[in-house]
Homo-oligomer: A and B are copies of this chain.
Amino acid sequence: MRHALILAAGKGTRMCSALAKVLHPLCGRPMAEWAVEAARQAGCTLSVVVGHQADAVREALPGCSFAVQDPPLGTGHAVQCALDVLPLEGIVLVLPGDAPLIRAETLEALLESHRGLCTVLTMSLERPGAYGRFIRSAEGSYIVEAAHASSEERAVKEVNSGIYAFDAAWLREQVMGLKPHAPKGEYYLTDVIEAASAAGGLSAVEHGDPDELMGVNDRVALASAEAVLRGRINRAWMARGVSMRDPDRTYVDVGVRLAQDVRLEPGVILSGHTVVEEGSIIGSGCVLHDSVVGAGTVLRPMVVAEGARIGGQCSVGPMARLREGTVLEPTVRVGNFVETKKAHLHSGVRAGHLSYLGDCEVGAGANIGAGTITCNYDGWGKHRTSIGEEAFIGSNTALVAPVSVGARSIVGAGSVVTEDVGDEDLAVGRGRQRNIEGGAPKLHARNRRRSGK
Contacts and interface: CB of A to CB of B under 8 A. Distances in A.
A241 B21 CA distance: 11
A105 interface: no
A117 interface: no
A408 B251 CA distance: 45
A287 B301 contact: yes
A282 interface: no
Nearest to A221: B238
Residue of A369, A409, A413 ringed by the most chain B CB atoms within 10 A: A413
Contacts of A453: 380-381
A241 B15 contact: yes
Nearest to A353: B356
Contacts of A220: 235, 238-239, 247
A310 to B, nearest CB: 17
A429 B431 contact: yes
Residue of A369, A396, A417, A447 ringed by the most chain B CB atoms within 10 A: A396
Interface stretch (A72-80, A144-152, A265-273): A265-273
A395 B435 CA distance: 17
A9 interface: no
Contact of A243 (B222, B238, B239, B240): B222
Contact of A354 (B249, B339, B430): B339
Nearest to A438: B424
A345 interface: no
Interface string A290-332: 0000000000111010000000000000110100000000000
Interface stretch (A59-67, A155-163, A202-210, A370-378): A370-378
A432 B430 CA distance: 6
Contacts of A318: 287, 304, 321
Given A240-B16, A431-B431, A424 B440 contact: yes
Given A336-B339, A373-B354, A414-B416, A302 B319 contact: yes
Contacts of A18: 260-261, 279
Contact of A284 (B287, B415, B417, B440): B287
Contacts of A24: 243
A173 interface: no
Given A369-B377, A436-B425, A245 B223 contact: yes
User: What copy number does this chain have within its complex?
Assistant: 3
A443 interface: yes
Contacts of A397: 396
A17 interface: yes
A410 B444 contact: yes
A427 interface: yes
A17 B396 CA distance: 44
A413 B398 contact: yes
A437 interface: yes
A439 interface: yes
Interface in A375-413: 375, 377-381, 392, 394-398, 400, 408-410, 412-413
B223 A448 contact: no
A418 interface: yes
Given A249-B246, A354-B339, A433 B419 contact: yes
Interface in A330-346: 335-337, 339
Given A356-B370, A379-B410, A321 B339 contact: no
A266 B250 CA distance: 10
Interface in A86-138: none
A348 to B, nearest CB: 13
Contacts of A248: 248
5 contacts: A283-B287, A378-B451, A415-B431, A428-B436, A431-B432
